Structure 1
Amino acid sequence: MGYRRTLMALLLALAVFATACTTGDGGEDEPAVEEAPTAAAEEPAAEPDESAEEAPSEPAAEDDEPEPAAEAPEEPASDGEPSEPAPEPTPEPTPIVLTASFRGVTEDTIRIGVGFWDVSLFGFGFFGDPEPVWDALTGAVNAEGGIYGRSLEPYIAGFNPALPNEMLAACITLTEDHEVFAVLGGLRGDANYCVSEQHETINVGSQVNARGELLERARAPLASFRLSGTAGEEVFITELARRGWFDGATAVGVHYDGSESQDRVEDVVKAAFADVGVEIAVTMNIDDLVLDDDAMESQTEIMQQQVADAGIDRMVIFGAAATGLVTYGDLGIQMAAVDSTNFTTATSSGIDPMALDGTIATADRLNLPSDSVDAETQKCLDVVMAALPDERFERPGPGVENSEEDPNYWNYTVLACRDLSLFVQIATAAGPELTNDSFQAGLDSLSQASLPEIPFLSFGPGKYNGNDTMRFVQFDGDADEDGELVGLGDPVDLTP
């Protein structure tokens, strides 16, 4: 009986062992299947036996418990580094809502006025028809989206700059009849008060001088691309000294084109001369002349005599240069004129161009025939030339003549380009809610800009004549029958 019990225990142990080692279908990756225990397991356990101890059965419960699943490793990025978390989606920009924010500004348009100065009346050539020029220029701006989606609508009013009544009529046409948001180019003289003071309308561009009484009385923003302040006069005197222009001088005189110029810059001029160690021997003011036809010649002779008696051999002219060039051109003295714009006027008055030969002056643009055409100017010219393929666009210079019969569109196109570009830059800086106040804020923020032929330009609180470009030029009396200006080096950047 003991033998049978021993045999039964041994067979039961072998059966449990075989069951634990059997797989489902012979595959290597299938987990073992646990079988239910047989009834034999309920029999009383056999007494300890040496043969049974030699082959004990392993506990099935511990071997067959499933292991906890391993945590999946983080997938490496393509470069072996852990992948970055996905960026959060960029929120959509808030759409711009345009409103009729101010007089002359609707949801879709901005009305701008243009004062057209017909210089053909003074024998300086003929600009051509302004309307197709402005249509082409504003059309190009509108084709690129306008100003925050608003299109520009130009309105033009022509005038004779010698007739104040015509200039006032142009102001009324633009500000009252068309109710423009801004006048570009401006009018002339006192007529600008009609725009910026009487009608509280923005006035920017070529005919605006944003300083003095006009700036004080303005009730709307003013902006111009003229030189600001007195930096030009200071730099001019310093540069003359650096070039040795005062070396060997017997006596140096100063000439002002009027009391306004003298009052504005005289203190700066005196200080600058003192800084370079040059004494001013005599100061002349054209307002001292009796400006009528009968007395003009005799008064000019008196001023010439004063200069001769003082032994002046160097004369520096401040303000509009023509009066000084005409007054001292026949004296055979060396001259320097801050403003270079009036040499043509001087030679037209009968002064021999060779009498002005060697005169040093300054210009506020890069527009000499010897200058390369800058990219901004060329782009603007291309727009208008494409719109007016049958018109003449010839860069001014020696031998280039203009007439009403054969107008040359170059000068006026470039001038209009500057006026429009200045307005667009300020209006863009002002933002989509366009008003006089936002335009002023945009103007104050425009600390760095450029215009066709004017590489350096800046504005800011209190600085509304934005041109910071000064280049030195010299008159060559032998270059042409009327002489011509030639550049002296690169332009100087006067940006504060």
Structure 2
Amino acid sequence: MTPTIRRPLRRAGAAAAALALSLAAAACTIEDKDKATAPGAAPGAARTDTPGVTADSIKLGISYPDYAAVKSFVNIDQGDFEATYKALIDKINAAGGIQGRKIVPVFAKTSLVSPAAAQEACVKLTQDEKVFAVVNLMPGNAQVPCYTQTNRTAVIGSPLDPDMNAAGQAPWFSFDTGLIARKSVEAFAARGDLAGHKIAIATVSNDQAQTDAQVLPALQAAGITPVANGTITLNGADPAALGQQAGVLFQKAQATGADTLLMVGGAAQIIPQVLEKTTWRPRLLFTVVPAGYTTGKGQHDFGTLKDAAAGSQIVDWSDPALTACADTVTQADPSLAGKLVDPATVGGGAPTPGASMASACRNLALFKAIADKAGPTLDYTTFRQAGNSLGRFHIPGFREDANYGPNTPDGAIPVRATVYDQAGNQFVPAAN
């Protein structure tokens, strides 16, 4: 079976959420000057106490996105996160738990649109419930500092950024790289997608740091100087303003002779649907797969994606480890039989319970592996040491294994160039 492509924490539903939020609250400004790369943060002090661990239990915080808050923009249903986690945790506990300790889940629904509400969820898990670690399922990593820095609580998941991790005061391990933008550009350069082309950049303000710290240096290393650099600022404007200002970006890029438009982060979900209303057809490069766009079958002119390429960690939904998780969840809820599939294969607006299943499967697999390796004495010192020495480990559903070490807390799963397949309306691994 041909593997499908997906960034693990930015699935079709999460990408659709980013698209909805951006369309509801975006205007566009154009920036010509490169910004300096943000300096790295200083390491924080290690935590010496051990919250949430007893002789027979481990409290695990589970943060999951509240899509009800964006329902007026887009209808997203990724399934029942709590029921999914409970089914998989019950199986782990029935088999003896982790070193004889049962996992006790503590859930917190986290707002996508209210920073204050998201902060409340963080406080609930870290200060009120005092969990040992938090599985962070929010799109992106903006909430991680609340856990690893402010409240010194371990995190599993979220795109792992080295500088943000260095500033943390608790362990953070993931299978999702925070360097996706840089690694995508490097993959494009290796394929020859950049040389001889005039590159314009489009970024949403949330991802400006990626452009500054990752994309621009990677382009420079490849000998490429972008001819234009535009930023879409999320500031409460309406979709009409987005279209108007995006038009300015396109005009500027065309005036400089750009033939390739490189979209960073959330721009992948926004720019193509605006571009399709124009006659300009540059080649599109994405640092993430534009799943929120491609799942809108029947709504878009996918001619914008001709010859497009995207950076991605490659996922195979036929992987037995992922299938085993799907079987466990289906046994707990037989109504899900046949529904725990790749969200990319589900029509726009339809429920995608496979998204919650895959996230729970991967996060629990990584947490259990590290906590098991930490041994009978589970604290942040042994947990960090175990993660740093875990070595090669298979994350369910990934085609390539992770490899955890002191310098690879994100598992270093490779980012590959993928190309748009018009027949299947999806991105598939590039031939080279």
TM range (shorter): 0.7 to 0.9
Please state how far the C-alpha of 1:484 moved relative to its aligned partner.
Answer: 3.0
Change (3 A) 1:250 1:384: closer
Question: Contact conserved, 2:308 with 2:419, CA < 8 A, in 1?
Answer: yes
Whole-Å Cα distance in 1 between the matches of residues 215 and 311 of structure 2? 18
Change (3 A) 1:349 1:292: farther
Aligned to 2:327: 382
Question: Contact conserved, 1:355 with 1:477, CA < 8 A, in 2?
Answer: no
Aligned to 1:311: 257
Please state how far the C-alpha of 1:458 moved relative to its aligned partner.
Answer: 2.3
Whole-Å Cα distance in 2 between the matches of residues 339 and 474 of structure 1? 12
Whole-Å Cα distance in 2 between the matches of residues 425 and 441 of structure 1? 12
* One-letter amino acid of the counterpart of residue 197, structure 1: Q
The equivalent position to 2:293 in structure 1, one of 330, 344, 347, is 344
Question: Contact conserved, 2:346 with 2:352, CA < 8 A, in 1?
Answer: no
Aligned to 1:192: 144
Whole-Å Cα distance in 1 between the matches of residues 199 and 294 of structure 2? 25
Aligned to 1:176: 127
Please state how far the C-alpha of 1:182 moved relative to its aligned partner.
Answer: 0.7
Please state how far the C-alpha of 1:460 moved relative to its aligned partner.
Answer: 2.5
The equivalent position to 1:417 in structure 2, one of 345, 356, 361, is 361
Aligned to 1:59: none
Whole-Å Cα distance in 2 between the matches of residues 208 and 224 of structure 1? 7
Please state how far the C-alpha of 1:200 moved relative to its aligned partner.
Answer: 1.5
Q: Does 1:253 align with 2:200?
A: yes
Change (3 A) 1:200 1:456: same
- The 3-state SS of whatever aligns with 2:227 is strand
Change (3 A) 1:463 1:349: farther
Whole-Å Cα distance in 1 between the matches of residues 111 and 233 of structure 2? 29
Question: Contact conserved, 2:202 with 2:262, CA < 8 A, in 1?
Answer: yes
Whole-Å Cα distance in 1 between the matches of residues 234 and 56 of structure 2? 55
| Alignment coverage as a number of residue pairs | 370
Aligned to 1:218: 168
Aligned to 2:309: 360
Whole-Å Cα distance in 1 between the matches of residues 299 and 199 of structure 2? 25
Whole-Å Cα distance in 2 between the matches of residues 325 and 399 of structure 1? 20
Whole-Å Cα distance in 2 between the matches of residues 262 and 138 of structure 1? 38
* One-letter amino acid of the counterpart of residue 225, structure 1: F
Aligned to 1:488: 430
* One-letter amino acid of the counterpart of residue 418, structure 2: V
Change (3 A) 1:281 1:170: closer
- The 3-state SS of whatever aligns with 1:226 is coil
The equivalent position to 1:159 in structure 2, one of 87, 110, 120, is 110
Q: Which of structures 1 and 2 has the bigger CA Rg?
A: 1
Question: Contact conserved, 2:288 with 2:312, CA < 8 A, in 1?
Answer: yes
Aligned to 1:322: 269
Aligned to 1:47: none
Report the more deviating stretch, 345-354 or 226-235.
345-354
* One-letter amino acid of the counterpart of residue 428, structure 2: V
Whole-Å Cα distance in 1 between the matches of residues 344 and 364 of structure 2? 24
Question: Contact conserved, 2:77 with 2:352, CA < 8 A, in 1?
Answer: yes
Deviations 1:170-224 (A, max 9, x none): 222222332211111255655433322232211111x353433x32432211122
- The 3-state SS of whatever aligns with 1:200 is coil
- The 3-state SS of whatever aligns with 1:172 is helix
Correspondences of 1:425-444 after superposition (within 5 Å): 425-444=369-388
The TM-score, its normalising length taken from structure 2, stands at 0.75
Question: Contact conserved, 1:449 with 1:457, CA < 8 A, in 2?
Answer: yes
Question: Contact conserved, 2:272 with 2:293, CA < 8 A, in 1?
Answer: no
Change (3 A) 1:421 1:362: same
- The 3-state SS of whatever aligns with 1:286 is strand
The TM-score, its normalising length taken from structure 1, stands at 0.66
Correspondences of 1:31-430 after superposition (within 5 Å): 102-119=50-67, 121-122=70-71, 123=74, 125-187=76-138, 190-205=142-157, 207=158, 209-212=160-163, 214-227=164-177, 229=179, 232-241=183-192, 245=193, 251-258=198-205, 259-274=208-223, 279-280=224-225, 282-286=227-231, 292-293=237-238, 295-320=241-266, 321-326=268-273, 328-329=275-276, 330=278, 331-344=280-293, 351-367=300-316, 373-392=318-337, 393-395=339-341, 396-400=343-347, 403=350, 407-430=351-374
- The 3-state SS of whatever aligns with 2:386 is helix
- The 3-state SS of whatever aligns with 1:127 is coil
Please state how far the C-alpha of 1:381 moved relative to its aligned partner.
Answer: 1.1
* One-letter amino acid of the counterpart of residue 194, structure 1: C
Whole-Å Cα distance in 2 between the matches of residues 191 and 289 of structure 1? 18
Whole-Å Cα distance in 1 between the matches of residues 75 and 418 of structure 2? 21
Please state how far the C-alpha of 1:470 moved relative to its aligned partner.
Answer: 2.6
Aligned to 1:446: 390
Change (3 A) 1:180 1:487: same
Percent identity over paired residues = 23
- The 3-state SS of whatever aligns with 2:391 is coil
Change (3 A) 1:265 1:193: closer
Q: Which has the higher contact order (CA 8 A, sep 6+)?
A: 2
- The 3-state SS of whatever aligns with 1:463 is coil
Question: Contact conserved, 2:78 with 2:352, CA < 8 A, in 1?
Answer: yes
Whole-Å Cα distance in 2 between the matches of residues 185 and 175 of structure 1? 12
* One-letter amino acid of the counterpart of residue 195, structure 1: Y
Whole-Å Cα distance in 2 between the matches of residues 449 and 440 of structure 1? 16
- The 3-state SS of whatever aligns with 2:54 is coil
Question: Contact conserved, 1:186 with 1:208, CA < 8 A, in 2?
Answer: no
Aligned to 1:465: 410
Note the aligned Cα RMSD (angstroms). Answer: 3.1
Change (3 A) 1:233 1:471: closer
Whole-Å Cα distance in 2 between the matches of residues 288 and 155 of structure 1? 35
Please state how far the C-alpha of 1:472 moved relative to its aligned partner.
Answer: 3.3
Whole-Å Cα distance in 2 between the matches of residues 288 and 282 of structure 1? 20
Deviations 1:311-344 (A, max 9, x none): 2222333333234435655411112212114452
Whole-Å Cα distance in 2 between the matches of residues 486 and 220 of structure 1? 37
Question: Contact conserved, 2:160 with 2:178, CA < 8 A, in 1?
Answer: no
Change (3 A) 1:134 1:322: closer
Question: Contact conserved, 2:227 with 2:256, CA < 8 A, in 1?
Answer: yes
Whole-Å Cα distance in 1 between the matches of residues 306 and 248 of structure 2? 24
Whole-Å Cα distance in 1 between the matches of residues 212 and 182 of structure 2? 15
Please state how far the C-alpha of 1:262 moved relative to its aligned partner.
Answer: 2.1
Structure 2 residue ranges without an equivalent (≥5): 1-48
